[in-house]
A and B are shown apart, each in its own frame.
Chain A
Amino acid sequence: MHIPNGFIDPKMATGLGLASAGALAYCFAKVKALVASPVLKEALAGVGKTISSISGKARSSFGDTFIIKMGAVASLIFAAQMFNFPVAQGTSGHLLGGVLAAVILGPWAGTIVISAILTIQSLFFADGGILVLGVNIFNMAIIGSIGGYYIYYGTKRLVGFFPGAAIAAWLSVVAAAAATALELGLSGTFELIETMKAMLSVHAIIGIAEAAITIAVLGLIMTIDRKLIEAFNNNE
């Protein structure tokens, strides 16, 4: 769902770019506070154990391990986004990963992770226009991770962890598609209602795959190390 240059009115791209920049600044502040927090450092001592073995000299800490965990999740989602799966009649879809990142890392770190991926894709792989990077960050990182996280947070109380994550994953894709359609329509690129119908119908299907991949990866990570996911959630 990476919007290329040329699809979005420059005024809208600037506006959403500024909104994304503001939201990202907030996310950075939240994550910075988190990695520096001694309370969480203690609570999460189990997660932040052994970074020391790599450099051999540096002492372990929660802060740098959390950021390295962000990096590992980011590289996994980057790789997974390359995996285009066939949907219907000559269409493919791929993971967006906003909910996946947010469930593992929390909404703020999740947003930073997806934004970093979108930036690398735009700068090096011509995947998503550089001029509309802020729009793509708004649709996939902010709606995906922050919006998706709070849907997950609300629904998991009602239906449990995996169904909650699945519903949030599906909704995050459909919401991102709706936002994209709205941006295209308001930019005058194509008629709004037609674009909305087309975007929603194809992404309602892609969203099912998003939900399936999200809970599969969460399940896998929980099997490997439950703490990777739960440690954060217990403190939310």
Chain B
Amino acid sequence: MNKSILFILVLSFGVALTASIFASSHPDGLEKVAEDLGFINAAAETPGAMPDYIFPGIKNEVLATVFAGIIGTLLTFWLFWTVAKFFRPASQ
């Protein structure tokens, strides 16, 4: 693989890992506004395999987030990787 692209990929796993450990757990801008103005309760519970970036079944929250983050990052890349296959010329 192109070295520079590989670098970006490695960087993203590094960022996912760091984010899992250091990310602020405060509500984000929109959530905070919804809390302050009092319409946060209008939000409907959404189902999801890994809600709040927590991999289910792992007690350690940081570890659960690391898992979820790495899976999400891989999943994102895999999606494009799969699409790219259709544009790859046939082998010679």
Contact = CB atoms under 8 A, between A and B. Distances in A.
Interface of A: 1-7, 35-36, 47-51, 53-55, 57-59, 61, 63-65, 67-76, 78-80, 82-87, 90-94, 116-117, 120-127, 129-130, 177, 180, 184, 189-190, 194-195, 198-199, 202-203, 206, 220-221, 224-225, 227-228
A127 B30 CA distance: 12
Contacts of A117: 76
A126 B44 CA distance: 11
A58 B37 contact: no
Contacts, number: 237
A121 B48 CA distance: 9
B56 to A, nearest CB: 12
B47 A126 contact: yes
Nearest to B80: A71
**Smallest CB-CB A-B distances: 6 pairs:** A71-B80, A126-B48, A225-B4, A6-B44, A79-B16, A83-B19
Contact of B39 (A50, A190, A221): A190
Contacts of A90: 26-27, 32
Contact of A224 (B7, B44, B83): B7
Given A79-B19, A124-B72, A125-B52, A199 B47 contact: no
Interface string B58-92: 00000001001100111111111101110111111
Contacts of B39: 7, 184, 189-190
28 contacts: A4-B44, A6-B42, A36-B87, A50-B1, A50-B3, A53-B1, A54-B1, A57-B92, A61-B88, A63-B88, A69-B5, A69-B8, A72-B9, A75-B76, A75-B77, A76-B12, A82-B53, A82-B72, A84-B24, A84-B26, A87-B29, A92-B24, A120-B79, A125-B53, A195-B33, A220-B11, A228-B5, A228-B8
Contacts of B28: 1-2, 84, 91-94
A80 B18 CA distance: 9
Nearest to A54: B1
B29 A129 contact: no
Contacts of A35: 87
Given A50-B3, A79-B15, A120-B72, 17 more contacts: A2-B30, A7-B34, A7-B42, A58-B91, A63-B87, A64-B85, A68-B1, A72-B80, A79-B12, A84-B23, A85-B24, A91-B28, A120-B76, A122-B48, A126-B51, A129-B44, A202-B29
Please classify how large the interface on chain B is, using the bins under 10, 10 to 19, 20 to 34, 35 or more. 35 or more
A4 B80 contact: no
A195 B33 CA distance: 7
Contact of A124 (B13, B50, B65, B84): B50
Contact of A64 (B8, B22, B84): B84
A5 B34 CA distance: 13
Contacts of B13: 75, 79
